[in-house]
Chain A
Amino acid sequence: MSFLIKSAPFRHFPLHPLVLAPKRTHWNKDYKPGPYPYSLEEKRLAAEKYNLHPAEYRAYPDDGFGRGDYPKLPDLGYESRDHHYPWDNPEHLRNFGEPLHAEFGLVRQDRLNVGVKMRYPLWLQVLQFFGAMLASAGLFWFFEKFKAFHPVIPTQCPEEGVTHYTFEPEEEGKPGKSK
């Protein structure tokens, strides 16, 4: 609200808590994962917490970039799930209590379909993209360098002190021939 006021401190990007708050509006202390499970017992408890079988539970490696005890689910996008299976939440293709992928923002249905076997490999797609871009750039460079034009002089408009000529001789005699 403050940035709507045209006063000096708020003319630039509004550094106001109400505007900066959106990132923190849906957090809950219970959402934070627990510490990395080292012992078998901790692993079992963590699997139970996330509704996973202990055999299929594994955590991200604890190398400083891990996620505590949040499970490392297979890297499959949600788009590749069965669309005709009767999910509890069919709009998300997800059952009740199923753990969300840690990178849900990346693998959700309307974003990247990670891990699926593409018809054309990724390197080919990248090559096609840059090939098309380079081709356009090359065409542009070429036609900027060699500008074509019609081989005519500019329009002859009548002016003061300037005479324009045709290619006919002055007298009605034989046409002039240059030596």
Chain B
Amino acid sequence: MGAAFGYFPESGFNLYFRPEVTPGPDEEPTFDPCLGFENGRKERVMVATEEQMRSAKIPPSERDYCAHHLLKFMACRKENWPWVVNCEHEKHVYATCKYDDYVIRMKEYERERRLRVREQKNKEIEAA
């Protein structure tokens, strides 16, 4: 829990006392995504189609880059219900994908924060 909640109180203080340097909880990244990556970055690929997601009635909040795993998991549950304990593998695959997605979001946030710190340092150097 410390890994996820370790920054929890600090985030509020940082947002209040150092707003230029701290991205808020609803802010999208502002810098160029490929800045600093010499060998470029892989793009995220959407596997499930709009048609599939709509027919499975997935809520819009879950129509992200892990939706194809969710579709498999839901199909497995539908086949095996009420013995859905047999779907542990599909559930684990979906959970891993969601975890990786969360890690990407964390990294993006930290990248945004560090770029802001760098930008502010550059400004201070220029001003001086």
Contact = CB atoms under 8 A, between A and B. Distances in A.
Q: Helix, strand, loop or mixed for chain A's interface?
A: loop
Contacts, number: 111
Interface string B26-46: 111100011111111111101
Nearest to B23: A153
Given A146-B12, A165-B33, A154 B26 contact: yes
24 contacts: A146-B16, A147-B12, A147-B15, A150-B8, A151-B109, A151-B110, A152-B102, A153-B29, A153-B109, A153-B112, A154-B26, A157-B60, A158-B46, A164-B65, A165-B33, A165-B42, A166-B104, A167-B104, A168-B41, A169-B42, A176-B38, A176-B40, A178-B35, A178-B36
Given A148-B8, A154-B105, A166-B41, 14 more contacts: A148-B11, A150-B25, A151-B7, A151-B113, A153-B29, A153-B105, A157-B60, A165-B44, A167-B41, A169-B39, A170-B41, A171-B40, A175-B39, A176-B37
Interface of B: 4, 7-9, 11-13, 15-16, 23-29, 33-44, 46, 60-61, 63-65, 101-102, 104-110, 112-113
